[in-house]
Homo-oligomer: A and B are copies of this chain.
Amino acid sequence: MTTDDIKSKLIERGLKVTPQRMAILEAIYSLKNHPTAENIIDYILKKHPNIATGTVYKVLGVLVENQLIKKVTTEKDIMRYDGIMESHHHLYCMESDVIKDYVDVELDELLQKYFEKKNLPGFKIEDIVLQLKGTFDNR
């Protein structure tokens, strides 16, 4: 993911390209494990000492609205963010709060077929998120 790639993503959505938005997107792509706003701020401060906390939250909101990133919720009351927009699920470790991406095309197809047959009356599904809660055995 180059700087130009990131810039293109913003332009595609009709968003102005600002250094702050570039830096925040770059941070989300670099930081693994679904960073919190705080993680992102810490990361960015190295290169942009003057970025305001409020700006980070504002930009994150804009990026979510424009579907460049996703919010990820856990049972902790801190929001986390995910830069991967392809369909995937999450393995959530309740002990360590680690969230691992879980891509499973076969499962997605299975679920899609299942819900095509079993129509949910009055509800239009837009996204199916499977949260697999558990613990990582080994390290």
Contact = CB atoms under 8 A, between A and B. Distances in A.
Nearest to A131: B129
A66 B79 CA distance: 25
How many copies altogether? 2
B136 A122 contact: yes
A13 to B, nearest CB: 19
Contacts of A122: 136-139
Given A91-B120, A124-B136, 17 more contacts: A73-B73, A77-B77, A94-B126, A100-B123, A106-B118, A107-B114, A110-B110, A122-B136, A122-B139, A123-B132, A123-B136, A124-B135, A126-B133, A127-B132, A128-B131, A128-B132, A131-B131
Interface of A: 71, 73-75, 77, 79, 91, 93-94, 100, 102, 104, 106-107, 110, 114, 118, 120, 122-139
